[in-house]
Amino acid sequence: EVHLLESGGGLIQPGGSLRLSCAASGFTFSYYAMTWVRQTPGKGLDWVSVISASGHSTYYSDSVEGRFTISRDNSKNTLFLHMNSLRAEDTAIYYCVRDHFDSGTRSGDSFDYWGQGTLVTVSS
Protein backbone atom coordinates (compact mmCIF):
# COMPACT_ATOMS: atom_id res chain seq x y z
CA GLU A 1 0.00 0.00 0.00
CA VAL A 2 1.33 3.42 -0.97
CA HIS A 3 1.97 5.64 2.02
CA LEU A 4 3.28 9.20 2.16
CA LEU A 5 4.02 10.76 5.53
CA GLU A 6 4.93 14.44 5.78
CA SER A 7 6.75 15.99 8.71
CA GLY A 8 8.56 19.19 9.62
CA GLY A 9 5.70 21.66 9.73
CA GLY A 10 5.17 24.11 12.56
CA LEU A 11 5.08 27.73 13.60
CA ILE A 12 7.84 29.90 12.13
CA GLN A 13 8.43 33.63 12.11
CA PRO A 14 8.39 35.62 8.88
CA GLY A 15 11.77 35.46 7.18
CA GLY A 16 12.55 32.12 8.76
CA SER A 17 13.39 28.77 7.22
CA LEU A 18 11.87 25.33 7.48
CA ARG A 19 12.49 21.93 5.92
CA LEU A 20 9.61 19.61 5.19
CA SER A 21 10.17 15.88 4.69
CA CYS A 22 8.00 13.21 3.16
CA ALA A 23 8.72 9.55 3.85
CA ALA A 24 7.42 7.29 1.09
CA SER A 25 6.67 3.59 1.27
CA GLY A 26 4.75 0.91 -0.58
CA PHE A 27 6.16 1.67 -4.03
CA THR A 28 9.47 2.08 -5.86
CA PHE A 29 10.12 5.70 -4.96
CA SER A 30 12.84 6.23 -7.58
CA TYR A 31 10.40 5.47 -10.43
CA TYR A 32 8.06 8.43 -9.80
CA ALA A 33 8.18 12.20 -9.93
CA MET A 34 7.02 13.84 -6.73
CA THR A 35 5.17 17.10 -6.14
CA TRP A 36 4.37 19.46 -3.29
CA VAL A 37 0.89 20.98 -3.27
CA ARG A 38 -0.27 23.41 -0.59
CA GLN A 39 -3.65 24.52 0.66
CA THR A 40 -4.40 27.56 2.74
CA PRO A 41 -6.88 26.46 5.43
CA GLY A 42 -10.37 26.76 3.99
CA LYS A 43 -9.10 27.64 0.52
CA GLY A 44 -8.13 25.93 -2.71
CA LEU A 45 -5.17 23.86 -3.89
CA ASP A 46 -1.95 25.52 -4.99
CA TRP A 47 0.74 23.63 -6.94
CA VAL A 48 4.17 24.44 -5.45
CA SER A 49 6.94 22.36 -7.00
CA VAL A 50 7.80 19.11 -8.75
CA ILE A 51 10.94 16.99 -8.99
CA SER A 52 11.55 14.28 -11.55
CA ALA A 53 12.11 10.67 -10.53
CA SER A 54 15.86 10.98 -10.95
CA GLY A 55 15.98 14.33 -9.18
CA HIS A 56 17.64 15.97 -12.16
CA SER A 57 14.71 18.23 -13.08
CA THR A 58 12.84 20.60 -10.80
CA TYR A 59 10.14 23.22 -11.36
CA TYR A 60 8.57 25.82 -9.12
CA SER A 61 5.57 28.10 -9.01
CA ASP A 62 6.36 31.79 -9.45
CA SER A 63 5.31 32.47 -5.86
CA VAL A 64 8.07 30.29 -4.37
CA GLU A 65 10.77 30.40 -7.07
CA GLY A 66 14.09 31.43 -5.51
CA ARG A 67 12.89 30.80 -1.95
CA PHE A 68 11.96 27.11 -1.93
CA THR A 69 14.08 24.14 -3.04
CA ILE A 70 12.70 20.69 -3.72
CA SER A 71 15.01 17.68 -3.43
CA ARG A 72 14.88 13.95 -2.90
CA ASP A 73 16.98 11.11 -1.55
CA ASN A 74 16.07 8.01 -3.51
CA SER A 75 18.26 5.84 -1.28
CA LYS A 76 16.07 6.82 1.68
CA ASN A 77 12.72 7.10 -0.13
CA THR A 78 12.37 10.65 1.08
CA LEU A 79 11.22 13.91 -0.51
CA PHE A 80 12.15 17.31 0.88
CA LEU A 81 11.04 20.91 0.58
CA HIS A 82 13.49 23.50 1.87
CA MET A 83 11.66 26.76 2.50
CA ASN A 84 13.52 30.03 3.05
CA SER A 85 12.43 33.65 3.49
CA LEU A 86 9.01 32.49 4.61
CA ARG A 87 6.09 34.88 4.36
CA ALA A 88 2.67 34.98 5.96
CA GLU A 89 1.15 33.97 2.63
CA ASP A 90 3.11 30.69 2.76
CA THR A 91 0.91 29.59 5.65
CA ALA A 92 -0.77 26.41 4.45
CA ILE A 93 -1.07 22.68 4.72
CA TYR A 94 1.67 21.18 2.56
CA TYR A 95 0.88 17.90 0.83
CA CYS A 96 3.42 15.46 -0.56
CA VAL A 97 2.01 13.96 -3.75
CA ARG A 98 3.08 11.17 -6.06
CA ASP A 99 2.93 11.83 -9.79
CA HIS A 100 1.70 9.04 -12.02
CA PHE A 101 4.75 9.35 -14.30
CA ASP A 102 8.48 9.87 -13.84
CA SER A 103 9.20 13.20 -15.51
CA GLY A 104 6.98 15.55 -13.54
CA THR A 105 6.06 17.51 -16.65
CA ARG A 106 4.65 14.88 -18.97
CA SER A 107 1.27 15.77 -20.41
CA GLY A 108 -1.52 13.64 -19.08
CA ASP A 109 0.08 13.17 -15.68
CA SER A 110 -2.01 13.02 -12.52
CA PHE A 111 -1.52 13.05 -8.76
CA ASP A 112 -2.48 9.55 -7.77
CA TYR A 113 -1.45 9.43 -4.10
CA TRP A 114 -1.45 12.16 -1.46
CA GLY A 115 -0.06 12.34 2.05
CA GLN A 116 -2.17 13.73 4.89
CA GLY A 117 -0.28 17.00 4.93
CA THR A 118 1.76 19.03 7.38
CA LEU A 119 0.73 22.50 8.55
CA VAL A 120 3.13 25.40 8.19
CA THR A 121 2.17 28.61 9.98
CA VAL A 122 4.20 31.73 9.31
CA SER A 123 3.47 34.32 11.96
CA SER A 124 5.22 36.55 14.44
What DSSP element (H or E) covers 104? none
Asked if residues 85 and 55 have their Cβ atoms less than 8 Å apart, the reply is no
Q: Min. distance of Cβ 98 from another protein in angstroms?
A: 10
Asked if residues 37 and 107 have their Cβ atoms less than 8 Å apart, the reply is no
CB nearer to another protein: give 29 or 36.
Answer: 36
Q: Min. distance of Cβ 14 from another protein in angstroms?
A: 24
CB nearer to another protein: give 16 or 91.
Answer: 91
Where does this chain bind another protein (CB under 8 A)? 35, 37, 44-47, 50, 59, 61-62, 95, 100, 104-105, 107-112, 114-117
Q: Specify the amino acid at residue 101.
A: F
CB nearer to another protein: give 16 or 47.
Answer: 47
Q: Min. distance of Cβ 85 from another protein in angstroms?
A: 20
Question: Phi first, then psi: what are they for 29, rounded to 5°?
Answer: -55, -40
Q: Specify the amino acid at residue 121.
A: T
HSE of 83 in the Cβ direction (CA atoms, 13 Å)?
31
Q: Min. distance of Cβ 81 from another protein in angstroms?
A: 15
